[in-house]
């Protein structure tokens, strides 16, 4: 019985990645390669948590070994290779396997991307962020030669038991300040805290201003992951609170913090993201998360934070203007009589704005928003602008008539196309006889 089978790690993988990993192990065994499972899956397995994706490393001096192995073992799979060291991502229909070749790293300057070189298994484990992420399980006979069932060079298993995140050397956060964001994310997810030494290292990193050197793109990617975690059940407010308490938020952007009033909405947003009422891909989750988090902060700070995190374009505008839009929408929702009026009040809001709005709404408006978004919003009108042109309407009267027809349809007063055309005819007639102003006000 193999060591991995003995400790049950492979059995803990989701079926799709398990069969891919078994294929990889079998080809690696034939080739005499040493393959290990490392990092997150080992940590999560030892904690008894669900293991999502597999993370493998091949012990080989040849940088492209992982790529060759993936191509031979999984000829039909989508394999994406990155960089000189042949880090490979294998995308399977329902799983992901990362396969890398053992490497060492050094950081030319704080916050810069590391320079990577060939290395040993020990180098690869010791270059990592926290001791709990530096555990490895040998999977092939070659990997097991003279090794323990779990390779633990830095007492990672003790940290797992003590629920501690411990960096591996005092300059770790100088090298890669995003590790503080990773610590908050993991801490919130696992209920772990930073070790005393790591807190000291964090204070030194803050003092030395390393957070100013994190690029906008890296910061945005970390924030994306933070709201991704929410989709797997972690309260995003917990991670943001840690970053706030550690003074990391203010170090990333002066004045940035977690305002008390966004804690409960963030928690509600997190619950919504676990089973979102409509498909919510990564960027939409980030946008909704930022909209909720930043809403109580002043407009200038919100704007600066979006720039700092390289959030640009229309999505940045939507996040920046969300608080005003939220106030108007919630007021309209309170006053609206009927589904047509709700549709008119919420029409034009994007999916991320609706998610953020749901996070702020109390139960009655929340039910109304959900009903609007899932039932009414997708409904199509039985007539189009061309039909109204054919009836003699023109200019802004067309848009107004369509809005009126939509409201009547959602309120159940208009059944099908014939009713819609009859109403359009009536609106056109009233307009022609000068009663248009009254119709427009209805």
Site for ligand CTP in 47-76 (CB under 6 A): 55
> Between 40 and 119, whose beta carbon lies closer to ligand CTP?
40
> Between 178 and 305, whose beta carbon lies closer to ligand CTP?
178
Q: Taking the CA atoms of the chain, what radius of gyration do you get in angstroms?
A: 28
> Between 174 and 182, whose beta carbon lies closer to ligand CTP?
182
* Minimum distance from residue 277 beta carbon to ligand CTP (Å): 25
Q: Is 176 in the site for ligand CTP (CB under 6 A)?
A: yes
Q: Closest Cα partner for 398 from 407, 406, 389, 390?
A: 389
Q: Which of 17, 87, 101, 133 binds ligand CTP (CB under 6 A)?
A: 133
* Minimum distance from residue 109 beta carbon to ligand CTP (Å): 15
* Minimum distance from residue 168 beta carbon to ligand CTP (Å): 9
Q: Is 129 in the site for ligand CTP (CB under 6 A)?
A: yes
> Between 46 and 356, whose beta carbon lies closer to ligand CTP?
46
DSSP string of 206-233, one letter each residue: HHTTGGGGS-HHHHHHHHHHHHHHHHTT
Do residues 274 and 233 make contact, with C-beta atoms less than 8 angstroms apart?
yes
Which stretch, 177-185, 194-202, 345-353, 415-423, contacts ligand CTP (CB under 6 A)? 177-185
Backbone torsions φ then ψ of 349, nearest 5 degrees: -80, 135
Q: Is 177 in the site for ligand CTP (CB under 6 A)?
A: no
> Between 231 and 258, whose beta carbon lies closer to ligand CTP?
231
Q: Is 164 in the site for ligand CTP (CB under 6 A)?
A: no
> Between 111 and 138, whose beta carbon lies closer to ligand CTP?
111
Q: Which of 23, 36, 174, 179 binds ligand CTP (CB under 6 A)?
A: 179
Do residues 101 and 86 make contact, with C-beta atoms less than 8 angstroms apart?
yes
Beta-bridged to residue 78, according to DSSP, are: 91
Distance CA 338, CA 340 (A): 5
Instruction: List, as own/partner pairs, every contact residues 75-81 make where C-beta atoms lie below 8 angstroms and the sequence separation is at least 24, other chains included.
Output: 77/20
> Between 42 and 383, whose beta carbon lies closer to ligand CTP?
42
DSSP annotation of 146 reads T
Q: Which of 39, 119, 138, 187 binds ligand CTP (CB under 6 A)?
A: 39
**To 10 degrees, what angle do helices 263-274 and 282-294 make?**
160
Q: Is 175 in the site for ligand CTP (CB under 6 A)?
A: no
The 10 Å Cβ neighbour count of residue 429 is 14
> Between 129 and 376, whose beta carbon lies closer to ligand CTP?
129
Q: Is 36 in the site for ligand CTP (CB under 6 A)?
A: no
Return all residues near 187 (Cβ < 8 A) that are at least 6 apart.
Answer: 165, 193, 194, 238, 239, 242
Structure token digits, residue 313: 């374009």
Q: Is 40 in the site for ligand CTP (CB under 6 A)?
A: yes
For the chain, the straight-line distance linking the first and the last C-alpha, in angstroms and rounded, comes to 77
Q: Which of 128, 268, 368, 406 binds ligand CTP (CB under 6 A)?
A: 128
Catalog residues that contact ligand CTP under the rule CB under 6 A.
Answer: 39-40, 55, 128-129, 133, 176, 178-179, 182
């Amino acid at each position: 019985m193999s060591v991995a089978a003995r400790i049950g790690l492979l059995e803990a993988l989701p079926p799709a990645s398990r069969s891919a990993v078994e294929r990889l192990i079998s080809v690696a065994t034939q080739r005499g390669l040493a393959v290990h499972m490392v990092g997150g899956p080992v940590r999560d397995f030892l904690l008894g948590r669900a293991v999502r994706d597999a993370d493998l490393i091949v012990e080989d001096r040849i940088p492209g070994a992982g790529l060759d192995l993936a191509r031979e073992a999984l000829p039909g799979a989508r394999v994406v290779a990155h960089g000189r060291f042949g880090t490979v991502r294998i995308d399977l229909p329902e799983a992901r396997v990362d396969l890398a070749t053992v490497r060492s790293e050094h950081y030319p300057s704080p916050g810069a991307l590391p320079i990577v070189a060939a290395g040993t298994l020990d180098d690869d484990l010791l270059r990592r962020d926290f001791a709990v992420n530096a555990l490895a399980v040998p999977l092939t006979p070659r990997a097991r030669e003279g090794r323990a069932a779990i390779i633990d060079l830095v007492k990672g298993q003790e940290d797992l038991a003590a629920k501690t995140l411990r960096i591996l050397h005092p300059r770790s956060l100088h090298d890669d300040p995003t590790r503080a964001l990773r610590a908050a994310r993991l801490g919130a997810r696992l209920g772990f805290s930073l070790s005393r030494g790591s807190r000291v290292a964090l204070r030194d990193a803050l003092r030395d201003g390393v957070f100013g050197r994190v690029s906008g793109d890296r910061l945005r990617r970390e924030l994306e992951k933070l709201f991704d975690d929410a989709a797997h059940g972690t309260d995003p407010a917990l991670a943001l609170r840690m970053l706030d308490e550690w003074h990391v938020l203010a170090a990333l952007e002066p004045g940035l913090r977690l305002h008390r009033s966004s804690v409960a909405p963030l928690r509600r947003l997190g619950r919504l993201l676990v089973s979102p009422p409509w498909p919510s891909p990564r960027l939409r989750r980030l946008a909704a998360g930022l909209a909720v988090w930043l809403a109580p902060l002043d407009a200038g700070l919100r704007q600066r934070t979006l720039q700092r995190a390289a959030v640009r374009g229309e999505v940045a505008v939507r996040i920046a203007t969300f608080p005003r839009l939220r106030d108007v929408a919630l007021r309209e929702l309170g006053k609206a009589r009927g589904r047509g009026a709700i549709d008119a009040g919420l029409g034009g809001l994007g999916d991320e704005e609706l998610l953020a709005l749901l996070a702020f709404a109390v139960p009655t408006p929340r039910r109304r928003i959900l009903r609007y978004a899932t039932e009414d919003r997708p409904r199509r009108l039985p007539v189009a602008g061309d039909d109204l042109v054919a009836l003699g309407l023109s200019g802004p009267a067309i848009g107004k008539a369509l809005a009126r027809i939509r409201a009547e349809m959602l309120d159940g007063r208009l059944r099908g196309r014939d009713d819609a055309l009859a109403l359009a005819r009536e609106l056109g007639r009233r307009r022609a006889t000068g009663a248009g102003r009254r119709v427009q006000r209805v």
